[in-house]
Structure 1
């Protein structure tokens, strides 16, 4: 995957997330250059999802942060690609809903005070036991037919779920896949209202995907279920 299309795809992802009112911030690192921190790598092997997520946030190991504090990591290198979504492990309530529920009167004059209270409230929320990780890997070195596909998705935490894919996908397609399956109401609203930005992206989204090379996607692999 070349750098220029990769960066353009991240830009298109941010445009879509803003349109769906899911975008919060862009990471200050460039993970495709800097990589994730050693602390995150070590913590991610522990099996503790909360600590792994907290490490990613603390070390700024994300490319995109969403309004519910879930995050995307989007990396490429000479050996392939790694795109990951980490759902926030804390229960989420929007700032607007928090204000409506807790304050009878709201004035912009005290915006900073309300925001501080909201952030404190968010940090004290219950653990979301159903928080999920979605990851896409393009992994040439570990290719093994019918065992470890070059292009594949991981769904869930600490398991061996690996769903083969016959395409090399880009960040935008990974974001689309994630948003559809995690943010149901935002996606449903955009589809039912014929959102122009989403429709335009959907109409051309697969054009940015190339087929996996035949040497890394042989006939006997095509006998099983896979994404295409």
Structure 2
């Protein structure tokens, strides 16, 4: 994938999709490079990581429920796409103000920070060719959840659009259904690039992989 103008164009496609299903709150189309994230976040709670990313504007998209989507790109051999679910019980700001009065606006963020969800499901996709280990560390893989060892291999190199489609389908089913009903959101920039053979060994065939079915495969 070309991480220049084509990549930024894909981010714009994602913005259009999110805006079309009324999920978009904030958008920053710069190519993120969150250096040293592993060291920065080691030992921190999920809530503190989410707060740090949100307060520092280290995200590509903030959604209307304050969940974050981050497209973090170092270079073509090190990319990471992340969905950080808002760990707090969300109430729309307008509803909050209508309930408690306009003068309560200063208490809105404090309210959000005090009511944690019982469970959260962050999602991260990594493409790290230099870290590939046959049968153990897939070159492309999905992490689901937090502070666990889940690493599900992917048979394709994901684009921003493909990652967004996964998040919408799994985390926002109503908006996903509306998107499908509207139609026409897939375009030429949503390309399917398979993992190269030298990054998929016999040992990798013994485990479950996420695979995107194309229309041709149903024929």
TM-score by length of 2: 0.84
Check if 1:2 corresponds to 2:8. no
Aligned to 1:74, the other structure's residue is in SS state: strand
Tell me, in whole angstroms, the C-alpha distance in 2 between the residues paired with 1:161 and 1:147: 11
* Structure-2 change in CA distance of 1:58 and 1:207 (3 Å): closer
Correspondence for 2:89 among 88, 91, 99:
91
Q: Tell me what 2:201 maps to.
A: 218
Give the secondary-structure state (helix, strand or coil) at the position aligned to 1:61.
Answer: coil
Give the C-alpha shift of residue 80 in structure 1: 2.6
In structure 1, the gaps of 5 or more residues are 104-112
Q: Relative to 1, partners in 2 of residues 1:37 and 1:210: Cα closer, same or farther, differing over 3 Å? A: closer
SS at match of 2:131: coil
Match of 1:119 in 2: 108
Q: Give 1:171-210 correspondences, 5 Å limit.
A: 171-191=160-180, 194-195=181-182, 199-202=183-186, 204=187, 207-210=190-193
For 1:180 and 1:118, the matched residues in 2 are separated by 33
Q: For residue 107 of structure 1, what is the aligned residue in structure 2?
A: none
Deviations 1:185-222 (A, max 9, x none): 3223444xx12xxx2224x4894121111111124423
Q: Secondary structure at the match of 2:69?
A: strand
Gaps of 5+ in 2: 212-219
SS of corresponding position for 2:167: helix
Cα–Cα, structure 1 residues 37 and 127, in superposed 2: closer, same or farther, change >3 Å? Answer: farther
CA gap of 1:45–1:201, structure 2 versus 1, over 3 A, is: same
The structure whose residues are more often helix, as a share, is 1
State the SS of the aligned residue for 2:176.
helix
Q: CA RMSD in A?
A: 2.5
Alpha-carbon distance in 2 for matches of 1:124, 1:137: 29
* SS of equivalent to 1:6: helix
What's the CA shift string for 1:65-91, capped at 9, x where partnerless?
Answer: 111111111022142311011011111
Tell me how far apart the structure 1 counterparts of residues 66 and 45 of structure 2 sit (CA, whole Å).
18
